[in-house]
């Protein structure tokens, strides 16, 4: 009798247990469906969850676990390339307007050769004496000079390489941040203009957007572009860090009616950019092109290049002095050899072009030596996504810094390395509508703004710690570079000040 009662009791327990398991499974399915619907159709903040409902939530779970298990299974904070976890994490926190404070000490190797250390002043600038970065004029000899408000701006990324929602989010965010946005060589799209920000129109070797039917530079199209009040400057691209000496290839499948209309090329046909401007093969011809664009548009004109050999720059500066300083480009944008926002052969991406650490002070010193430093503004580009790197570039002589990948991280880029495959999971570099819908421009525009705000603020913090009231007062003597072991060297010793006119008087090259 007792055995029978026990059996009935066990049966009842098992029955209740299976009912609970069944109920749990039903609740789990219902919860999953609700979360899937929520992620897919209602939430607009997280692109990964919007494109990959429910499954995308596991990203944050594993990302959180990585903080605790990375020493066993994952890379450390400073090990990854092209950008490590610490760099990406800072941008993500800044873009979300979260605290950028870190606890328990730095994970950065203090004695790693090449590391730059800023020299704090014993009497830092008091809070009441602090000043925000001062706007700077570009193009005093243009009919419509441009007064740039921000020292950090959005570098060249083309519509076509970037998706419509990505361009729109960048434009809206830049407008709120007060910085400029470079169109890249793909021409001016409606999405660049819709956000209301200041625009730099880049003229690549294919002259997209300002070309005639034969691919030649068109004065009429230049006037049309310049007629937009948001277009503040024009930039003639000679080369870029990702692929110096190589033009781009736009497959015919990507030349939609919209892209064709923006770039003024035939629909559905491949478009190959020359590896240089066909009509520019000397300092004289380059200055002629600069003069033409500035005269036609009335707006400042700059040039962009990655430095390899630099003797051509001396010829260029000599020709400027012969013609008069008004003939000079209004700014020079120096791209680092480790640029990466264009897909390129590994041989070019990895091994061609000088790093910004060498090319930036070289060009600044050449400008000073040829008496052109006050005339020509210097823009630096190349992995300048965190405050320390921006402050370093300014200390070396840059007037402005620009970044492409930093703002891509602000949009939600996870460094998936899918930029050239049309499969970007965050919707930034894809034209797949299903993936694009994950990127909500209004939400991401706010992140662009917050990233810019935190970045500039912390650059100013570094400047104040060094005893100067605003970042552009930073000089090479404010920082040292670790040379190996416990020793470091002043940047001003690595790159001594150059006396104005020394190159013209002595007619020599720079000793590197």
* CATH code of the domain in which 233 resides: 3.20.20.70
With respect to residue 433, please indicate whether it lies within any of the assigned structural domains.
Answer: yes
Domain limits at 42? 2-67
Which residues, including other chains, have CB under 8 Å from residue 256's CB and lie 6 or more apart? 267
57 shares a domain with 143: no
The residue from 43, 67, 91 where one domain ends is 67
Tokens 């709120």 locate to 176
Q: Is 342 helix (H, G, I), strand (E, B) or coil?
A: coil
Question: Among 229, 198, 228, 217, which residue's Cα sits nearest to residue 293?
Answer: 217
155 shares a domain with 14: no
62 shares a domain with 144: no
> Tokens standing for 273?
């950019």
- Would you say 402 and 235 are in contact if contact means Cβ atoms under 8 Å apart? no
pLDDT at residue 512, rounded to an integer? 34
154 shares a domain with 33: no
Where is 237: in which H helix or E strand?
strand 231-237
494 shares a domain with 408: yes
Q: How far is CA 425 from the centre of its chain?
A: 19
Residue 462 φ then ψ, to 5°: -60, -45
409 shares a domain with 279: yes
Q: What is the DSSP string of 400-456?
A: EEEESHHHHHHHT----S-TTTT--TTSSS---HHHHTT--HHHHHHHHHHHHHHHH
With respect to residue 480, please indicate whether it lies within any of the assigned structural domains.
Answer: yes
> Tokens standing for 509?
């090259």
> Tokens standing for 379?
């823009």
The residue from 67, 82, 101 where one domain ends is 67
pLDDT at residue 72, rounded to an integer? 46
Measure the CA dihedral 171/173/174/176, to 10°: 120
Q: Is 28 helix (H, G, I), strand (E, B) or coil?
A: helix
Q: Tell me the H-state helices in 239-355.
A: 257-263, 283-297, 311-323, 346-351
405 shares a domain with 267: yes
Tokens 């004029």 locate to 137
pLDDT at residue 377, rounded to an integer? 98
The Cα-based distances of 212 to 163, 208, 209 in angstroms read 25, 9, 9
The Cα-based distances of 365 to 37, 113, 225 in angstroms read 59, 24, 34
Instruction: List residues bridging with 490 in a β-sheet.
Output: 480
pLDDT at residue 510, rounded to an integer? 42
143 shares a domain with 46: no
491 shares a domain with 347: yes
Supply the DSSP symbol for 186: T
* Mean pLDDT per 10-residue interval, the chain, length 512 residues: 63 84 90 84 83 81 64 58 79 89 76 90 83 88 97 92 91 96 93 95 93 91 97 94 69 78 86 86 96 98 93 94 96 85 66 87 94 96 93 97 93 79 83 85 94 96 94 96 89 86 54 37
With respect to residue 24, please indicate whether it lies within any of the assigned structural domains.
Answer: yes
- C-alpha 202/C-alpha 157 separation (Å) is 10
- C-alpha 510/C-alpha 487 separation (Å) is 26
367 shares a domain with 475: yes
Question: Among 406, 384, 405, 407, which residue's Cα sits nearest to residue 395?
Answer: 384
With respect to residue 39, please indicate whether it lies within any of the assigned structural domains.
Answer: yes
With respect to residue 142, please indicate whether it lies within any of the assigned structural domains.
Answer: yes
192 shares a domain with 331: yes
Number of domains in the chain: 2
pLDDT at residue 71, rounded to an integer? 46
Which residues, including other chains, have CB under 8 Å from residue 200's CB and lie 6 or more apart? 153, 156, 180, 181, 182, 183, 231, 232, 233, 234, 235, 302
With respect to residue 336, please indicate whether it lies within any of the assigned structural domains.
Answer: yes
- Classify residue 49 as exposed, middle or buried by CB count within 10 Å of its CB (0-12, 13-18, 19+): buried
431 HSE (CA, 13 A, CB side) = 12
- C-alpha 430/C-alpha 78 separation (Å) is 29
Q: What's the full length of the chain, in residues?
A: 512
Which residues, including other chains, have CB under 8 Å from residue 225's CB and lie 6 or more apart? 188, 201, 209, 210, 231, 234, 297
pLDDT at residue 341, rounded to an integer? 63
275 shares a domain with 183: yes
The residue from 44, 67, 90 where one domain ends is 67
> Tokens standing for 399?
């007037």
With respect to residue 130, please indicate whether it lies within any of the assigned structural domains.
Answer: no
> Tokens standing for 382?
């190349």
With respect to residue 90, please indicate whether it lies within any of the assigned structural domains.
Answer: no
């Amino acid at each position: 009798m007792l055995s029978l009662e026990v059996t009935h009791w066990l049966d009842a327990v098992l029955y209740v247990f299976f009912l609970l398991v069944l109920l749990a499974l039903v609740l789990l399915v219902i919860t999953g469906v609700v979360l899937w619907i929520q992620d897919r159709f209602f939430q607009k903040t997280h692109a990964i969850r919007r494109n990959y409902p429910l499954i995308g939530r596991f990203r944050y779970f594993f990302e959180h676990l990585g903080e605790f298990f990375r020493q066993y299974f994952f890379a450390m904070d400073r090990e990854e390339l092209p950008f490590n976890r610490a760099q990406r994490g800072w941008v993500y926190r800044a873009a979300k307007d979260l605290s950028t404070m870190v606890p328990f000490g730095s994970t950065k190797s203090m004695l790693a050769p090449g590391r730059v250390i800023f020299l704090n002043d014993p009497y830092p600038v008091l809070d009441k004496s602090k000043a925000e970065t001062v706007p700077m004029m570009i193009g005093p000899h243009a009919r419509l000079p441009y007064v740039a408000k921000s020292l950090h701006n959005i570098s060249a990324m083309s519509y076509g390489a970037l998706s419509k929602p990505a361009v729109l989010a960048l434009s809206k965010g830049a407008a709120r941040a007060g910085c400029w946005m470079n169109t890249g060589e793909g021409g001016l799209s409606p999405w660049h203009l819709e956000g209301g920000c200041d625009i730099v129109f880049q003229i690549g070797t294919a002259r997209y957007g300002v070309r005639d039917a034969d691919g030649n530079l068109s004065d009429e199209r230049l006037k049309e572009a310049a007629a937009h009040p948001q277009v503040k400057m024009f930039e003639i691209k000679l080369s870029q860090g990702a692929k110096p000496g190589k033009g781009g290839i736009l497959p015919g499948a990507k030349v939609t009616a919209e892209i064709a209309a923006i770039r003024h090329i035939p629909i559905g046909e491949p478009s190959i950019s020359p590896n240089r401007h066909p009509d520019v093969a000397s300092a004289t011809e380059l200055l002629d092109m600069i003069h033409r664009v500035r005269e036609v548009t009335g707006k400042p004109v700059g040039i962009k290049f990655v430095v390899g050999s630099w003797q051509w720059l001396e010829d260029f500066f000599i020709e400027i002095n012969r013609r008069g300083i008004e003939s000079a480009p209004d700014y020079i944008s120096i791209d680092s050899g480790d640029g990466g926002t264009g897909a390129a052969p590994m041989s070019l991406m990895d091994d061609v072009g000088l790093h910004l650490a060498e090319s930036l002070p070289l060009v600044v010193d050449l400008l000073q030596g040829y008496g052109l430093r006050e005339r020509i503004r210097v823009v630096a580009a190349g992995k300048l996504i965190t405050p320390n790197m921006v402050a370093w570039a300014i200390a070396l002589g840059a007037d402005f810094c620009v970044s492409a990948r930093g703002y891509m991280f602000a949009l939600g880029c996870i460094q998936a390395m899918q930029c050239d495959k049309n499969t970007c999971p965050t919707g930034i570099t894809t034209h797949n509508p299903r993936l694009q819908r994950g990127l909500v421009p209004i939400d991401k525009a706010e992140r662009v703004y917050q990233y810019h705000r935190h970045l500039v603020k912390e650059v100013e913090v570094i400047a104040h710690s060094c005893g100067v009231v605003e970042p552009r007062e930073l000089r090479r003597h404010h920082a040292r570079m670790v040379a190996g072991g416990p020793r470091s060297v002043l940047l001003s010793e690595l790159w001594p000040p150059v006396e104005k006119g020394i190159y013209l008087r002595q007619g020599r090259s720079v000793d590197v």
